[in-house]
Amino acid sequence: MQRIFSGIQPSGVPQLGNYLGALRNWVALQADNECIYCVVDLHAITVWQEPAQLANQTRELAASLIACGIDPKRHILFHQSAVPAHARLAWIFNCVARLGWLNRMTQFKDKAGKDRENVSAGLYVYPNLMAADIHAYHATHVPVGDDQKQHLELANDIAQKFNHDYGVEFFPRIEPLILGVATRVMSLRDGTKKMSKSDPSEQSRINLTDDADTIAQKIRRAKTDPEPLPSEVAGLEGRPEARNLVGIYAALADTDLDGALREHGGKGFGAFKEVLSELLVAKLAPIASETRRLLADPGSVDAVLRDGAARAAAIADPIVAEAERLVGFLKA
C-alpha cells in the first residue's frame, strides 16, 4: 500500500484537463492505496482571488471531487489552509530551496510573463509549498498532469538537500504518477496552449459544470484543420488541434490514440465532433448533476472538509514537528 498525495487549486471551476490529467487517476488510485487529496487554497492566493469567492470555490471544488468519485470516508479530502503543518514546513523548505532552483521553474516564468517584478513573492516560492504538501505526509506517489513534473523534481531536490544538510534520511523520494493518454489537454482555441481554469476565454475549455448544450457548442466551435482524421497516429504530426481532440476522445473511451483512429480515421471533423460531444456529455453530465446535488447542502460538504482536515493534521503534525526538531527549533 502506497501513500498518495495530490492537490488542486480552487482558482475556478475544474476543467477537462484537470479531470483527464489528474482527477480520474485520483479516483482509480483509491482502489489499492491510502490517498490524501487537498484543495490548495494557499496556492490559489499566489494570484489574486476575490475573498468572497474563494471560500465558495473551495467548497464547490470539494463537491466536484466527491462527485468525480473521491471517497472522503475511506480516504482523506480537505483544504490546505485548515492544516497549518503545510505552511510550517513550507517555511523550512523556503530556507532549504536555492534561488537558482526556483529560477528554473518554467511555470513561474509562464505565469509571471513580462511582469516579473510585479507578481507576488508567493508565486515564486509556490513549488516549495507544493513540496511541503507532499512531504508533510511522507507521501511517496503523486498523481499529476504533465505540467507538474518539474515541480515534483524540485520537491525531490528539496527533500534530498534537507536530508543531506541535517544528516538524516527523513523525507522519502517521491514518484510522479503521470498516467493515461491525456496527460496534457490543450486549449480548444489553440492546440499549442494548455487547457486551464484561468484562461480568460470560456471557449478554450470544457468545465466540469458545463451542461450538454454548452459542451456541444464548445466542441463544435473548437479549432480544427480542414483535413479528415488520419487512420494512423503518425498522421497527427503537426496537427496539434486534431491530436488534442483525438486524445480527449481516447481518454474518455478508455482506449489509446491508435484505437481512436482505428474507429474514426477518415471521418471529417463535423462527424467526429458529434461523437466526441456525446461521449463528453455521457461522462461529465453525471458529475455536474451530482455536484449540484451535493451543493444543495453546503454544510455537509463543509463537514466532510472539517473531518478530512482533522485526519490530515493527525498525520502531518507529528511529521512536521519532527522536521522542526531536526532543524533545531526549541520544543519546550
Q: Does 195 bind ligand TYM (CB under 6 A)?
A: yes
Q: Does 147 bind ligand TYM (CB under 6 A)?
A: yes
Q: Does 58 bind ligand TYM (CB under 6 A)?
A: no
Q: Does 9 bind ligand TYM (CB under 6 A)?
A: yes
Q: Does 135 bind ligand TYM (CB under 6 A)?
A: no
Q: Does 194 bind ligand TYM (CB under 6 A)?
A: yes
Contact (CB, 8 A) for 142 and 174 = yes
Q: Which residues contact 242 (CB under 8 A, 6 or more apart)?
A: 191, 224, 225, 227, 229, 230, 236, 269
Q: How far apart are CA 183 and CA 266, in angstroms?
A: 25
Q: Does 130 bind ligand TYM (CB under 6 A)?
A: yes
Catalytic status, residue 194: yes
Q: How far apart are CA 212 and CA 8, in angstroms?
A: 25
Distances (CA, A) of 112 to 46, 84, 103, 147, 186: 11, 27, 12, 16, 20
Q: Which three cell numbers stand for residue 118?
A: 510585479
Between 21 and 308, CB nearer to ligand TYM: 21
Catalytic status, residue 193: no
Stretch that binds ligand TYM, among 143-151, 234-242, 251-259, 278-286 (CB under 6 A): 143-151
Contact (CB, 8 A) for 38 and 7 = yes
Burial 47-82 (b: 16+ CB within 10 A, else e): eebeeeebbebbbbbbbbbbbbebebeebbbbbbbb
Which of 109, 114, 193, 194 does the annotation list as catalytic? 194
Between 22 and 66, CB nearer to ligand TYM: 22
Q: How far apart are CA 22 and CA 186, in angstroms?
A: 14
Q: How far is the CB of 148 from ligand TYM (least distance, A)?
A: 4
Residue appearing with cell numbers 516579473: 116
Stretch that binds ligand TYM, among 13-21, 91-99, 209-217, 270-278 (CB under 6 A): 13-21
State the number of binding residues for ligand TYM (CB under 6 A).
25
Q: How far apart are CA 289 and CA 74, in angstroms?
A: 23
4, 17, 76, 181: which one binds ligand TYM (CB under 6 A): 17
Q: How far is the CB of 167 from ligand TYM (least distance, A)?
A: 26
Please, which residues bridge with residue 79 across strands?
39
4, 18, 136, 250: which one binds ligand TYM (CB under 6 A): 18
Between 80 and 277, CB nearer to ligand TYM: 80
- Annotated catalytic residues are 111, 194, 197
- Binding residues (CB under 6 A) for ligand TYM: these are 5-9, 17-18, 21-22, 40, 43, 130, 133-134, 142, 144-145, 147-148, 183-185, 194-196
